[in-house]
Amino acid sequence: MEQMEKNRILPRTLYLVATPIGNLADLSPRAVKILSEVDFIAAEDTRNAQKLLSFFDIHGKELISYFEHNKRQKGEYILSRIEGGESCALITDAGTPAISDPGEDLVRLCAERHVTVTGAPGCCAAVHALSLSGLMTGRFAFEGFMSVNKGERKKRLAEIQRERRTMIFYEAPHKLQNTLSDLADCFGEDRKITLCRELTKLNEEICQTTLKDAIAIYQERAPKGEYVLILAGLDECPDTDTSEENPLLTLSPEEHLAHYEALGFAKMDAMKKAAKDRGISKSEFYRMLHKE
């Protein structure tokens, strides 16, 4: 009875419905029921959505497009209809909405306006790949797509160079070779990586290797299809730690301050810089200097 109650489609509710990442048989019966019974569906690509709905014999459902470049105005429209009493399902091209896909803003808007959000869970390529990777799964960090902007990419890699947890990246095939070489520069070529390609599809491939060998594989053949990269963290590969300790951290606080003063910084600025190197506040650094 409770189960039936839970399966009833509720008015004034947004349903996040996960869709298959390659194999249509992975759509759950509950997801099909929600898609059949909601008042309307918001979809990242309405043509893709139409194909999915036809496959499951769902016809005549109102589809509204909701994607990266119209999400602001469409989000408001979708919400106003939900607030007016309708139920809406949100789907993306594949996998779980709001994970490197449109949806995050809509869910946030619902939270701000006290609108109920629930959903039918299903596959998320990141978690599926992690579970297949053979690497540590206890603690992980989802990095999604790396920026295409060189500077931002470099900065991000520097930030995660000493990440202890297993890391998950999404990558498009035409950027894979570059990404593998950037990862090797940052984490060392012996770092373990599992490349998960075309999951749940005919050409599924799970390649457990190192960055060095992955680079060699893709020098021989062009990457094709969709990839999730699972990269071992420092906890799993401490011997591949390539980051060097900042030599300034071996100085005493007095020497550290003197170093920046010798470079021409005023005392306050030199303290600020030394504190930043040490990842502490200026007042903490001041206390270290005066041994308080």
Site residues, ligand SAM (CB under 6 A): 21-22, 92, 94-96, 99-101, 124-126, 170-172, 196-201, 226-228
Q: Are 199 and 21 in contact (CB under 8 A)?
A: yes
Nearer Cβ to ligand SAM, position 130 or 270?
130
CB of 18 to ligand SAM, least distance (A): 7
Nearer Cβ to ligand SAM, position 92 or 166?
92
Nearer Cβ to ligand SAM, position 227 or 260?
227
CB of 197 to ligand SAM, least distance (A): 6
Q: Are 187 and 231 in contact (CB under 8 A)?
A: yes
H/E element, 16? strand 13-17
Nearer Cβ to ligand SAM, position 22 or 253?
22
CB of 24 to ligand SAM, least distance (A): 12
Q: How far apart are the first and last CA of the chain?
A: 66
CB of 245 to ligand SAM, least distance (A): 34
Give Cα 82 distance to the centre of its chain. Answer: 28
Nearer Cβ to ligand SAM, position 174 or 287?
174
Nearest Cα neighbor of 153 from 197, 193, 186 is: 186
CB of 199 to ligand SAM, least distance (A): 4
Q: Are 26 and 20 in contact (CB under 8 A)?
A: yes
What residue number has its CB nearest to ligand SAM? 95
Q: Half-sphere exposure (CA, 13 Å, Cβ side) for 166?
A: 22
| Maximum alpha-carbon separation in the chain | 77
